[in-house]
Amino acid sequence: MTGTIRLYNPRSVVMSLSNNNLGNYWTSSGPYDEIFYYIRNNVDAVRDDIAVMISGSSVPARVREYAATSQELRTREEILSAMVVYGFLSCENGMVSIPNKELMDQLVEMIGYDKSEKKTSLQSGGTENMKFIYPAVIRKNDTGTYDAFFPDLECCQASGDTLEEAVDKANEAAYDWLYVELMEDEGVLPAVSDPEDMELMEGDVVRNIAVNIRFTEGWDE
């Protein structure tokens, strides 16, 4: 929502007119209870992503429509995908965000999040953890060692004598790349590629690299 443009949920508008009472009707449905369960229990640290979106940013995610039909959601990708399908999040160019104030308020209540308290805490020396996941391609070279690169993170590369070492080095490289980008005044994280869409060579290994970044005093100023 930008400028003077305001988005209203059609169901809430109809219910408000029918009941002659303004209220939040979006979440009075079964899918809300299901999503609430996963967020309340912080499955796969999904609350970190919700907190980032409440702060006004988007987060990268590979949205899969079939996730909404799963009996159980086990990963952040599945949970965020289901939230997109149910209308709790919007998705554009591989980035998901909260589409309107009604849902923003509901998610704030859901996780007990206070943006003003968060900023005060950070500025007084508090910390905030964020989790990011990007796929890395690990490729064995002619010398028998391994090179790793991230299709989504420009010039983010690493190498190691073994596959495991290359993965560890890739994690360090991704941390540095993301940290620097997030420190920029207008830092924007790239969308996450789907491994199925990557042009891979025979023998390539794709690993999802999870990076946890802790921000301290002043990062949100």
Reduce the DSSP state of residue 149 to 3 states and report it: strand
Q: Identify the pLDDT of residue 114.
A: 43
CA distance 48 to 65: 22
Binning pLDDT at 50, 70 and 90, where does residue 42 land? confident
pLDDT of residue 198: 86
- Residues 115-147 pLDDT 10s: 444 444 444 455 556 778 888 999 999 999 999
Please report how the helices 76-86 and 30-40 are oriented relative to each other, as an axis angle in degrees rounded to 10.
160
Q: What's residue 116's pLDDT?
A: 45
Its sign, for the CA torsion 102, 112, 179, 175, is negative
Calculate what percentage of the chain has a pLDDT beyond 70. Answer: 72
DSSP state of 194: P
In angstroms, the CA 148 to CA 165 distance is: 10
Q: Which two tokens stand for residue 114?
A: 């206070």
C-alpha 40/C-alpha 6 separation (Å) is 29
Q: What domains appear along the chain, each with residue ranges and CATH number?
A: 10-113 (1.10.10), 127-215 (3.30.160.250)
Residue 220's pLDDT is 45
Query: What pLDDT is attached to residue 1?
Result: 41
pTM above 0.85, yes or no: no
Work out the pLDDT band at 182, boundaries 50, 70, 90.
confident
Q: For the purposes of burial, counting CB atoms within 10 Å of the CB of 37, is it exposed (0-12), middle (13-18) or buried (19 or more)? A: exposed
Per-residue pLDDT of 151-169, as tens digits, reads: 999 999 999 999 999 999 9
Instruction: Encode pLDDT of 58-97 as tens digits.
Output: 888 888 876 666 778 888 989 999 899 888 899 988 889 9
The residue that leads in pLDDT, 84 or 1, is: 84
